[in-house]
A = this chain, B = another copy of it.
Amino acid sequence: MTERRLTPRGQQRREQLTAAATRLFAKNGYHGTSVADIVDELGVGKGVFYWYFASKEELLVALLHETTLGLRRAQAQAIAEEPSPLRRIELGIRASVAYWWANRDRYTLFSFAAIDEAFRPALVIGRQTAIDDTAAHLKAGIVAGQVKDLDPLFLAYGIYGVVTQFIAVFLAAQDASPHEVADAAVAFCLDGIRVD
């Protein structure tokens, strides 16, 4: 899509569209949501959608990027002032849980992305970034003697998996507070690797 310069009103419309799409995708899935559904939600014509997005696909990609970016921003902000590598990991985990809790609708978006060639990149990049970030902290932690001397990449994969799974299960369950979930994830991830 040729980058379009949007008026403030246009900006707002675009956001309404992404919001509606996110809601519907979360409820009915990407394939279960039609462009018609999205514009009906706003009560506007179909032309509106194609004024702001080149295609339905592009919308999802944009959504994935936004989300990935938002998550990373939240993590960065959370650890900004923290020097200890182990604490950085912990704060990162807590920030992740909090972010997904606040954006639970967006969590499912990544399910469709897992298979479709058109979306996988947006997903893989996000995951790799998160893992690399964690691995860097782990490496620093090993150097600092805070973390056992294991392959940091493997550990990072593990942490990513634990956090992801805890979020998935507890978002679905909807009966645990984000704090409890974060505590559990942190405990599980760090108890095993911390040097006592």
Residues of A within 8 A of B (CB): 28-32, 108, 111-112, 114-116, 127, 148, 150-151, 154-155, 157-158, 160-166, 168-169, 184-185, 187-193
Contact flag A115-B29 (CB < 8 Å), given A158-B188, A165-B161, A193-B191: yes
Which of A32, A116, A154 lies at the interface centre, i.e. has the most chain B CB atoms within 10 A of its CB?
A154
Number of copies: 4
- Minimum CB–CB distance from A67 to chain B (whole Å) comes to 16
A94 to B185, CA, bound (A): 22
Contact of A184 with B108 in the complex, beta carbons under 8 Å:
no
Contact of B165 with A160 in the complex, beta carbons under 8 Å:
yes
> In the complex, which residues of chain B have a beta carbon less than 8 angstroms from the beta carbon of A111?
111-112, 114-115
Contact of A165 with B166 in the complex, beta carbons under 8 Å:
no
Among candidates B30, B150, B169, residue contacting A157 with C-beta atoms closer than 8 Å: B169
Chain B residue nearest to A163 in the complex (CB): B161
> In the complex, which residues of chain B have a beta carbon less than 8 angstroms from the beta carbon of A114?
108, 111
Contact of A150 with B29 in the complex, beta carbons under 8 Å:
no
Q: Which 6 A-B pairs have the closest CB atoms?
A: A161-B165, A192-B192, A158-B188, A29-B115, A191-B192, A31-B31
Contact of B116 with A32 in the complex, beta carbons under 8 Å:
yes
Among candidates B31, B115, B127, B188, residue contacting A192 with C-beta atoms closer than 8 Å: B188
A162 to B161, CA, bound (A): 5
A114 to B28, CA, bound (A): 11
A31 to B116, CA, bound (A): 9
> In the complex, which residues of chain B have a beta carbon less than 8 angstroms from the beta carbon of A165?
157-158, 160-162, 164-165
